[in-house]
Each structure stands twice: as structure tokens, then as C-alpha cells.
Amino acid sequence: MRTLILTITFLFLMTKIFGQTQEPKLKISHLTGDFYIYTTYNTYEGNQIPANGIYLLTNNGVVLFDTPWDTTQFQPLLDSIKLKHNKNVTICIATHWHSDRTEGLEYYKKQGIKTYTTKQTDDLSKKNDKKRAEYLIEKDTVFNVGQYSFETYYPGQGHTEDNIVIWFDKEKILYGGCLIKGADAENLGYLGDGNVFEYETTLKNVQKKYTNPKFIIVSHHDWNNINSLKHSIKLARKLKKKNRIEKSSR
Ligand SMILES: [Zn+2]
């Protein structure tokens, strides 16, 4: 009997340990067509936080939007893409200066990948000692890569001073990065580098410009709910109101 209990305990522990080591550090999900979402994780204030980016398969290599947050996953992401699609990443564009978007830029540059940020992002990366891209975008830019086309858009300050979004017009995919939060988000997340007064206007600029997105991809939440932008605007409106009241009562 004792042996049986010990065996069961042992098996239970093994399953637990095995189960833990099996928890993936990198997740890849199919979005639609040639679009995929990759997720890595990092710890923020004691919580495990997911960070999503996307990649797009083209006839001219793979375009990576943002880099993994987890520094151990730069190469595994390239390897997974190669294994899954037999293609190499050729371009990487980061959407603002925070580490969850830019951490892999220098590593990818060393692998021969053309890395991009806006000039504004580069200035902030330099100032804040973050990884920097090789090529700079001076203004909103249309990229044509293989059979695909997409544009970068700077809507104003929000999550950070420099946050941009990416729009795939043909596919109606809006890549919102950290500017847009999930439809269930309780708040707009870390605002230490943000602009609480401009945030609402900035989000509305995105909404006005891209009126009919089929998908809205966000950095730290589930992307399956298209109400994320609307919900973020609501949060930003509340935030502005609250800060106005605080400001005027000072
Ligand atoms: Zn972020």
C-alpha cells in the first residue's frame, strides 16, 4: 500500500514538474491568411504578462512587427518561423521604444534583418538606453514587401510619445501595439511614459482613419474582440476626466 501511495505521489509530482517545463515560452497562433501572432512572456510587478507581436509571410521574406519581450526567445522565434514556413525574417519594425517592442532590434540587425523604427522612437530609445534600429522612418510610410502592402501611422501621443500603429488596408488588419488595450482591459496599463490628456484624441485619430478593421491586434490582451479600440477610447476618456479633476483640485 505504502509503495502504491509513494508511486502515485511520485507520478503526481512528475506530472507537475513535467507540466511546468512544458509551459511554452513562445506561442505562435494563426490569425488569417499569411498573418501570424507570436507571444512571449515577461514578469511585470510579479505577474506573468504576455506580449504579442505579429509576423507576415511574403514572397520576399517574413516581416516581423515588434520583437519578443523575452530576451531568450529572439532566436527561437526565427527558428520557429523557419521550421514552420521555411522562410527567413527579412524586415523587423518596432512600434514604440519600450523593451516589449524593441528588445530584439540589435540582435536581429546582427542576423542581417533590416530593422526599422520611426525617428521619434529612435530618439527616445537613445535617451532611455534601449535597443535601436538600423533604419529610421521620418514620417508615415507605406511599405511594399513581396505581394503585400502596409502603412505605418503616427496618431499622436498615448501609451508613449512615439507609438505608431500599422494598417493592412487590403486585409483590414489594424496592428495597435500597446496603444490599444483589450476589450476586457480594466485600465490602459502602464502610463509612466504616456500622455493621459492626449490618449483619447490619439485613439480617436486611429478610429477615424481606419473605420472598418476586421481584426485589431493588441500587445497584452486577447485580440479576438473587435471592441478593443472602442473600449480603450472609453478608458482614455475616463482617464482624461479623472486627471482634469485632479489637476483642477490641486
Ligand atoms: Zn507594451
Count the neighbouring beta carbons within 10 Å of the beta carbon of residue 141. Answer: 15
Gap from CA of 189 to ligand 1 centroid (Å): 8
pLDDT at position 235:
98
Distance 2 CA to ligand 1 centre (A): 51
Per the model's pLDDT, the better-predicted residue between 185 and 245 turns out to be 185
- B/e letters for 198-233, b = 16+ CB within 10 Å, e = fewer, are bbbbbbbbbbeebeebebbbbbbbebeeeebbebbb
- Indicate the average pLDDT of the chain: 92
Q: Is the pLDDT at 78 greater than 90, yes or no?
A: yes
Check whether 3 has a pLDDT greater than 70.
no
Handedness of CA 193, 97, 41, 231 (dihedral sign): positive
Q: Which three cell numbers mark 163?
A: 507609438
Q: How far is the CA of 94 from the centre of ligand 1 (A)?
A: 11
Distance CA(142)–CA(157), nearest Å, equals 21
Least confident of 2-16, 24-38, 131-145, 235-249: 2-16
**Interval between CA 95 and ligand 1 midpoint (Å):** 10
- Go through the domains of the chain in sequence order and give each one's CATH number: 25-248 (3.60.15.10)
Q: How confident is the model at residue 7 (pLDDT cuts 50, 70, 90)?
A: low
Position 6 confidence tier, pLDDT thresholds 50, 70, 90: low
Q: Ligand 1 center to residue 182 CA distance, Å?
A: 12
Where is average pLDDT lowest: 13-27, 38-52, 61-75, 168-182? 13-27
- Cell 506580449 belongs to 51
What would the 3-class secondary structure string for the chain be? CHHHHHHHHHHHHHHHHHHHHHCCCEEEEEEECCEEEEEEEEEECCEEEEEEEEEEEECCEEEEECCCCCHHHHHHHHHHHHHHHCCCEEEEECCCCCHHHHCCHHHHHHCCCEEEEEHHHHHHHHHCCCCCCCEEECCCCEEEECCEEEEEECCCCCCCCCCCEEEECCCCEEEEECCCCCCCCCCCCCCCCCCCCCHHHHHHHHHHHCCCCCEEEECCCCCCCCCHHHHHHHHHHHHHHHHHHHHHCC
Question: What is the CA(46)–ligand 1 centre distance, in A?
Answer: 16
